[in-house]
Chain A
């Protein structure tokens, strides 16, 4: 090689190196620019705790999602379960044991290494009987202790005394705690960490510098530098602030505001379709309720309940109250829950004539526009709902008019929530209640405490010593069967039957499934609103702000 050729080769090598260095610098620069944006959204209440194991309220759930690192994560878009801190897992055939293989080299936000010991510590804290948290109780399928076995620093198996239905998916809600960090629950594995908290005002989160995830190009996640969560209970003010550009997301948008915003800025609003949530009403079937016997007889009659259900115009409720952003509900599972929804169920049509006929067959008669039972008592009852929820108040008023057409007189009563809860769970001094159910997950096991007749949350007749009707006994059997089986097909069969019985017997009169509505500012990139919570920031580590 001549000197000239050698110099050219050296120049080319230097040039290639310079390009490589520039690319790296550019990547770092882009990464750092991307990591400087702040996402701003509102919490609707004060967070009660930063301890991820004690989380009960929505605000604390939000903070847990943004800061907590979990072993497995339900992809909110595909609804599939994906590895997170655990790179793989295995559930035993009997559904009692789960073994995790953890990723290595992961650090908590304060630099403390993450290992199987932390998982064991978290599970032991979670299963402490004194904890009394929804997260922990979801794993308590039966009496006995939970055993953790640390196989290696990156392998652990957890054994439960009885089978836990959907065991792996439950870990989506369990944020790992450090066994060794002096910061305790403030040392986190999620994309963000709590930087500042001003009570009543804001929670400031900043990027976790030790977050383990990178994107496909090898850039460190999250892209955002910080998140500001403003505590704002009033939805009108939240909307005002979104319109003014002071916040970037409205995670759960009211239908009233959806249409108004869509009229001026359609690109900012998103309707992801029916959510998992439902609105329903039920009658009081508690034997010791302080109600006249004749009313208890009405409420305990499936014919009466079904007739009332038939006389309610669900299409109007969806169209008028929710501006078309809802659909008539069929049962405890929303059609959005594709696997668990019983597609064979027939929609409840609005047929007031058929309702009246059914009631007449049960001994009721219409006299001068008033429906009376066989003893001559006018059918009058109250529907109680929580004050301040304008959609429920409107629904109750529309149901009042619908039932008036079949001679039933309804009094709409709105109460503050604690008073309502007391009537519902302690004094049983109510006739009918209209409330909603928020389903955070897909698995029907989450509704176990609603369907079991002995349960506290068996709302129409809680804590039955033994099932008071044959259909409740059947539901108990079916729910226990699906909870103890690891076979998805068998579980579906059982739960499909539960949905059929629920439609036949109408202990709950399901009204509507609301759509998942949200608003995302144009400055936010990467947002893909979905139906599972958190609808707009489920992929927060990949969001950025222009």
Chain B
């Protein structure tokens, strides 16, 4: 039974990932500028060379054919070649993924630590002035452009992961704060307090478990937010990660690279969110 459910879940993930790849390829293909190459503006190039540049993407014009051939090659381990960088996509991803994983991983760790510390303390203390202070702190970081945070990390020579953390933490904090505050208003919490339970026990034994499944869902989503934050941080800090690659690929309309990147991001997002769902269901005592 469990095996059947897991197989169904796995198939759903695979289908979603493949659909994501196809939709991404379609979006890129239909966007203006697909056949445009900056190189064709070089006045040294003659007519034939300009035409050759324009036609180098002819085989990608039929998106279904392109996608089908890409999947067939991917089945043999060949993810295609990046048009803008002239290198195999598999090599590019292999070289760059570890840096992004470290950046995003550290960023999430720091952001969740700070966000939960502030949210838990705000929920525990329930003091207006402290609430206002944490709101101002998180609000300030929410209002600073990601590019500025990235540049600040270069200016102050701190790791890019800190910039990612500062981009993600206000979002996590606000959701976590509201969920915990909501949980505090439930009748059984009032009863627990009336019965003389300590605030710390109430917080960790009664409030946090209530908000747990939602916090887990938030954890899954925060992975996507962190991946998005990695793009400007890597691009501006000169970090050779997947985020920087994604930005270069988008500017160059690099279809093979963008399709594979989307598949990778979709897979990571689905795995993160599915894991959160499964754990959430387990906490609620339901079948996943």
Q: Which residues of A contact B (CB under 8 A)?
A: 46, 48-49, 56-57, 129, 132-135, 137-138, 140, 198-201, 230-234, 236-237, 240-241, 416-423, 425-427, 437, 446-450, 454-457, 463
Contact = CB atoms under 8 A, between A and B. Distances in A.
Interface string B31-44: 11111111111111
- How many chain B residues sit at the interface, stated as a range, is 35 or more
B154 A240 contact: yes
A463 B151 CA distance: 44
B36 A419 contact: yes
B240 A201 contact: yes
B53 interface: yes
B84 A129 contact: no
Given A199-B240, A201-B240, A236-B151, A421 B40 contact: yes
Given A46-B248, A418-B251, A132 B96 contact: no
Contact of B36 (A198, A241, A422): A422
B155 A446 contact: no
Nearest to A56: B39
- Give the 8 A-B residue pairs with the shortest CB-CB distance, closest first: A200-B240, A418-B33, A134-B44, A421-B36, A132-B49, A456-B50, A419-B33, A418-B36
A449 B237 contact: no
Given A237-B154, A456-B40, A457-B41, A422 B240 contact: no
Contacts of A233: 235, 238
A446 B43 contact: yes
A237 B48 CA distance: 39
Contacts of B50: 456-457
Contacts of B92: 199
Contacts of B245: 200
A237 B52 CA distance: 36
A234 B45 contact: no
B44 A230 contact: no
B140 interface: no
Interface of B: 31-54, 84-87, 92, 95-96, 151, 154-155, 235-241, 244-245, 248, 251-253
B35 A199 contact: no
Given A49-B86, A233-B235, A137 B49 contact: yes
A447 B53 CA distance: 19
Nearest to B238: A232
Nearest to A133: B49
Contacts of B51: 456
B238 A426 contact: no
Contact of B41 (A48, A201, A421, A426): A421
Contacts of B241: 200
A418 B252 contact: yes
Contacts of B32: 418-419, 422-423, 427
Contact of A135 (B36, B44, B155, B253): B44
Contact of A132 (B43, B52, B251): B52
Contacts, number: 127
Interface of A (DSSP majority class): mixed
Contacts of A134: 39, 42, 44-45, 49
Given A230-B238, A234-B235, 12 more contacts: A46-B85, A46-B248, A48-B85, A133-B49, A134-B44, A199-B85, A200-B240, A234-B236, A419-B32, A421-B38, A437-B43, A456-B40
Contacts of B248: 46
Contact of B44 (A137, A417, A422, A427): A137
A48 B86 contact: yes
B238 A449 contact: no
B168 to A, nearest CB: 22
B43 A449 contact: yes
A132 B95 contact: no
Contacts of A427: 32
Contacts of B53: 132
Nearest to A136: B49
A135 B46 CA distance: 11
A200 B244 contact: yes
A421 B35 CA distance: 9
A421 B237 contact: no
A417 B38 contact: yes
Nearest to A57: B39
Contacts of B44: 134-135, 137-138, 446, 449
Given A201-B238, A234-B235, A422-B35, A140 B96 contact: no
Nearest to A129: B48
A131 to B, nearest CB: 8
Contacts of B43: 437, 446-450, 457
Contacts of B96: 199-200
Contacts of B253: 418
16 contacts: A46-B84, A48-B86, A200-B96, A200-B241, A200-B244, A201-B240, A231-B240, A232-B238, A237-B151, A237-B237, A417-B36, A418-B34, A418-B38, A437-B43, A449-B44, A450-B43
A49 B83 CA distance: 12
Nearest to B250: A416
A439 B286 CA distance: 69
- Max chain A C-beta neighbours (<10 A), residue from B236, B238, B248: B238
Which of A236, A421, A448, A456 neighbours the largest number of chain B CB atoms within 10 Å of its CB?
A456
B248 to A, nearest CB: 7
